[in-house]
Amino acid sequence: MPFVVLGDPNYATSIRIIKKLIDNGASALELGFAFSDPIADGPVIQKANNRALANGITTKKDFEILEEIRRESKVPISIMLSYNLAYKYGLDAFYKKCSALKITAILFPDVPLEESKEAVKHAKKYSIHQVFLVSPTTTPKRMQQLNKVAEGYVYLVSLLGTTGARESINTKLPELIKLVKKEMTLPVYVGFGISTPAQAKNVIALGADGAISGSAFCKIIEENILSKENMVTKIANFCKEMSEAVKGA
Amino acid sequence: MFVPEMMVPALKELANAFEKYKDEEEFKKELNYLLKEFAGRPTPLYFTKNISNELGFRIYLKREDLLHSGAHKINNTLGQGLLAKRMNKKEIIAETGAGQHGVATAITGALLGMPVKVFMGEKDVERQKLNVYRMKLFGAEVVPVTSGSKTLKDAVNEALRYYLTNVETCYYLIGSVVGPHPYPKIVQHFQEIIGKETREQILKKEGKSPTAVVACVGGGSNSIGIFSAFIEDEVKLIGVEAGGNEEKHGKTLGEGSVGIFQGSKSYVLQTKDGQILEAHSISAGLDYPGVGPVHSYLKDSKRAAYGSITDSEALEALAYLSRKEGILPALESAHAVAYVMKNKEKFKKSDIVIICLSGRGDKDVAQLMGGGFLE
Ligand SMILES: Cc1ncc(COP(=O)(O)O)c(C=O)c1O
């Protein structure tokens, strides 16, 4: 599942990019709302956030892009954003809007179980899946607690750290996937540090139900900022490669 | 605690360790020894004859500027440093704005034999060169932060990201009453010594409570430190934020709105959408768009009042206190002094006003020289 930031690098190109992802094998999308201070993101996704903000993205425009996508596609869409953006929009209004746009799932990386009551309440009200992070520091007991409130899928953070490409996947990941599979009933999607088709394939082979790749896509945008044509083409090709790697696993 | 899942177990471990050690005799003995013999507590509550005469009421300064390292920050770093040691952490990290918290952490690391990494916005590295050098002298590594506004908020982001990555071995020593739970509580606890001493001192010297207690507010640690002892008393508590220049400022409580930022829910300077705004202040320590949740509570419950002072008013106060009393305040603390000067009409002759002089201005001299302040 590819991740990009809505409005990166700008409104129009972002729509083109997302459509390309859908046309090139992405069976589901994870889309981020740009925030000025994303604490779980490494440099590449921070820059993606900044590009979108510098080019005038707002929460309202994020929703407009989603509307545009929905006009053409029913692809499942998860959104990921810092809690403050939804809080300022008004939680009820935010979930209501997402529901109207047929958003499948919402993940706030800065809302752990302890702070999730309001979010979960609204998610239930509007029939949206509230997704939670599970990490290498999450204990089995905590996984069981999360399993009671989490819906949709588990976003398994493959390593301790921020988002960003890594040379290789965490050696403890096989055990971790096994543990989550044992303690939780939801499908497991692995993210953070998955940036090559081989890594994605590997993660699936280890028993995960999906792989989420963000920084690699955002890096393509960053490196092709001068030519939108190249950018869109490369995104399409990379998405195809990733999708095929996952399907072949 | 509004933080990613990776940090939650570590923050719980921290909360447990804090609850376990804070009242333990052995821990308290060790901390009190260091506060006294190493840092120089208790600090004097000094009666300022000259400015009291001129402004027309009784003004005392709580001399946190006399502490080892030059500011109140060391009260907290010694407390948390001992906690880190008890928790068997291998490394201490910190964020810093003015560099005072970085220096205090570097000193604490040297004292306790623990390696220290300090994250500091590139802009602050530039304007607080002296403190950067001091941190290095104490053996700390200074990591310049180039993301965002390159000031304190970005240093906190970067420290949080590093913590996220090294959460099992590293102790994040936050410098103010901000960040995720339990940090606001821990930092407040270790700064409450300022208020405890002040209250005893003023009762001894004047036989009664002060009329007002005034302190500058960056994240809010020196202010809550001194306020906390007077909350139940009939004493005006006044926090002073950075008024900055005409365009930009650090008036988080004055002009911000409630949001979720860097792990806690509190007032924050932000757009309608919830994007965090860049703050501005001539004093790096007040150049922060967030504020501790305890001050949001004190503001909303109207137990404390919050005002602001501009860059130029703070500079004027720095010069005034230096010339009249022979005391050079930190630019941060000068905001509290300026507030009292500016609002002198509100006090009558018998009133007693205590200013928390959170730090000394030596760190700001290079910046003042660069700005041609005396010319
Ligand atoms: C001397 C001094 N006073 C005040 C502050 C502001 O912090 P706080 O509001 O937490 O006391 C700083 C921060 O660096 C400082 O160095």
pTM of the model: 0.96
Q: Which residues pair with B270 in a beta bridge?
A: B276
Active site residue A8: no
Query: Domains in chain B, please, with CATH?
Result: 9-37+73-183 (3.40.50.1100), 40-71+191-370 (3.40.50.1100)
| pLDDT higher than threshold 80 for residue B375 | no
| Residues in A lying within 8 Å of B, measured between beta carbons | 35-37, 39-43, 46, 53, 58-60, 82-85, 87-89, 109-115, 132-139, 142, 157, 160-162
pLDDT at B249: 95
Ligand 1 site, residue B71, Cβ cutoff 6 A: yes
Averaged pLDDT for residues A157-184:
91
DSSP codes of every residue in A128-178: -EEEEEE-TT--HHHHHHHHHH--S-EEEE-SSS-S---SS--TTHHHHHH
- Is the CB–ligand 1 distance for residue B292 below 6 Å? no
For position B192, what pLDDT does the model report?
A: 98
Residues of A within 8 A of B153 (CB-CB) are: 37
Given a contact cutoff of 8 angstroms between Cβ atoms, the answer to whether A159 and A177 are in contact is no
Does pLDDT of A231 surpass 90? yes
Q: Which one of B223, B264, B333, B358 is the catalytic residue?
A: B358
Q: How far apart are CA B289 and CA B274, in angstroms?
A: 12
CB A110 to CB B263 under 8 A?
A: yes
pLDDT tens by residue, A91-146: 999 999 999 999 999 999 999 999 999 999 999 999 999 999 999 999 999 999 99
Q: Could you confirm whether A175 is annotated as catalytic?
A: no
Tens digits of per-residue pLDDT, A174-195? Answer: 999 999 999 999 999 999 989 9
Question: What's the pLDDT tens digit per position in B326-353?
Answer: 999 999 999 999 999 999 999 999 999 9
pLDDT score of A120: 98
Q: What pLDDT is attached to residue B148?
A: 84
Nearest to residue B270, comparing CAs of A162, A89, A95?
A89
pLDDT of residue A249: 67
User: Mean pLDDT over residues B202-217, rounded?
Assistant: 98
Determine the pLDDT at residue B292: 98
Q: How far is B42 from chain A (nearest CA, A)?
A: 38
Ligand 1 neighbour B333 (Cβ under 6 A) = yes
Residue B220 pLDDT exceeds 90: yes
For residues B73-98, average pLDDT: 97
CA–CA distance, B157 with B177 (Å, rounded to integer): 15
Q: What number is the average pLDDT over the span A200-218?
A: 95
What pLDDT was estimated at residue A203? Answer: 94
pLDDT above 90 coverage of chain B, percent: 91
**pLDDT in the model for residue A171:** 85
| A138 contacts B164? CB cut-off 8 A | no
Q: Average the pLDDT over A55-84 and give the result.
A: 97
Across residues B155-176, what is the average pLDDT? 94
> What's chain A's length in residues?
249
Given A36, A138, A162, which is nearest B165 (Cβ)?
A162
* Domain range list for chain A: 3-247
Cβ-Cβ contacts under 8 Å for A24 (sequence gap 6 or more): A236, A237, A239, A240, A243
**B1·A89 Cβ contact <8 A:** no
Convert B232-268 to b/e letters by CB count within 10 Å (16 or more is b).
Answer: eeebbbbbbbbbbeeebbbbbbbebebbbbbbbbbbb
A161: nearest CB among B164, B260, B272: B164
pLDDT given at position A248? 73
Mean pLDDT value across residues B44-55: 98
A84 → closest Cβ in B157, B165, B261: B261
Which residue did the predictor score with more confidence, A62 or A162? A62
Determine whether the shortest distance from the Cβ of B97 to ligand 1 is under 6 A. yes
B73 among known catalytic residues: yes
pLDDT band at B63 (very low <50, low <70, confident <90, very high): very high
Confidence at residue B348, expressed as pLDDT on a 0 to 100 scale: 97
Q: How far apart are CA B126 and CA B1, in angstroms?
A: 32
Q: What is the mean pLDDT of chain B?
A: 96
Tokens found for residue B313? 């008013």
| Percent residues over pLDDT 90 in chain A | 92
Asked whether B327 and B171 are in contact (CB, 8 A), the reply is no
Query: Residues A41, A62, A151, A183: which is the catalytic one?
Result: A41
Report the CATH number of the A3-247 domain: 3.20.20.70
Mean pLDDT of chain A: 96
B151: confidence class by pLDDT, cuts 50, 70, 90: confident
Which of the residues B52, B62, B69, B95 is marked catalytic?
A: B95
- Omega before residue B182 within 30° of 0, cis: yes
Q: Is the pLDDT of residue B234 over 90?
A: yes
pLDDT, position B182:
98
What single letter denotes the amino acid at residue B274? Answer: G
pLDDT at B67 over 80: yes
pLDDT in tens, B243-302: 999 889 999 999 999 999 999 999 999 999 999 999 999 998 999 999 999 999 999 999
pLDDT tens readout for residues B299-316: 999 999 999 999 999 999
Residue in chain A lying closest to B267 (CA): A84
pLDDT of residue B127: 80
| Res B345: pLDDT | 97
